Amino acid sequence: MEWVLDSSLAFSLVLPEEYSGRADAFLQQRSPEDTFWVPALWWCEISNALLIAQKRNRITEADRIQMVALYGLLPIQTDTPFHLEGINRFQELALAYSLTAYDAAYLELALRKGLAIATFDQRLKQAAQKAGLGTIPN
């Protein structure tokens, strides 16, 4: 199966203050053939969160490097880079569903590909459900 992977779920895999075990349980239920789609901004969000965690002494440099390597093990496919048409669509979705433009990028990708969104972000989850998309974990 294919999913859109939101950064909130990805953060909970590695950041101690966000870890709940739910992300691990979600991943354990996936098959090796599953694919996680992410918008290009996902990599920036992940990178920034890990750098901030290191700067705030929540993780070490070695932890950060190990966490990046963990993401490299996931079957992630990055969507095409952004363009003017996409930016307009993100803004439309952000306004329609009361989302940030960042979260609208995940919703746009899921809508375009007809995929469920794997997220712990309640606002994004509600927007996806309102748009007729599945969300996981429940």
Number of domains in the chain: 1
Distance between CA atoms of 71 and 44, rounded to whole angstroms? 13
Q: How far is CA 45 from CA 6, 34, 134, in A?
A: 10, 22, 23
> Higher confidence at residue 20 or residue 124?
124
| Amino acid sitting at position 128 | A
Residue 70, classed as helix, strand or coil, is helix
Structural domain that includes position 101:
2-136
pTM: 0.88
**The CATH number of the domain where 17 resides is what?**
3.40.50.1010
Distance between CA atoms of 88 and 50, rounded to whole angstroms? 29
The β-bridge partners of 3 are 36, 116
pLDDT tens-digit map of 20-68: 778 888 888 888 889 999 999 999 999 999 999 999 999 999 999 999 9
